[in-house]
Structure 1
Amino acid sequence: MAAKNDDLRVGYDIVFADGATRKIKPLTIRQLRSFMKVMDKMQDLDTEDTTQSMSDEDIDNMVEAAAIALSKVDKELSEDSDALEDALDLRCFGALMAASMGNDPNLDQ
């Protein structure tokens, strides 16, 4: 059974805004529980609407989602929201979300 998930568990290298490359793997079920609670808070955010502005609450939710995705990759960074905000930009956030869901973040580029 484990061999069937080898393609997922390899992970994807993502270069963050702080210049560090981190290998992101899909969320575990335990992480997914927490992650989905945060994503539910973000359901009204229309990522296709280029005129919509983001509130501080939206950004806080993004940082919280990123922290969950990074919790097993870079625990220290995931626990320091200020450092995490400095390590994230919109491009790497999108790639992080894709990779944490098991999708190739490079498909859109």
Structure 2
Amino acid sequence: MQPWKISAGLTAALAGSAFLLGGARLEYLSSHWPRILAEHGVALALHAALALTTVAATIYVVARTTGLADLGRRVDLAERSVRRGEGDPGLADALHQDRQGEWK
């Protein structure tokens, strides 16, 4: 999985969680939202965009630093080598039996 996909998914999950949790706490402002957005809407939108960008960039850097960016490629490479019969013979036999439908 590409690190930008990881960062986009986690950022969306965090933003959604923050919206759900924070939205309930801001219920008392419901009658004032039109005026708040009229006076401060652009600044609020810019701050929200900057916060989302910062979270996404941080997650991306963490994914690249910890090696999550190459994890999918490495797992795919290991799976292909095991399916070719290289590496762990027990795992190769189990995969062959699974393909044949011979479960124990």
Q: TM-score, normalised by structure 1?
A: 0.27
Higher relative contact order (CA 8 A, sep 6+): 2
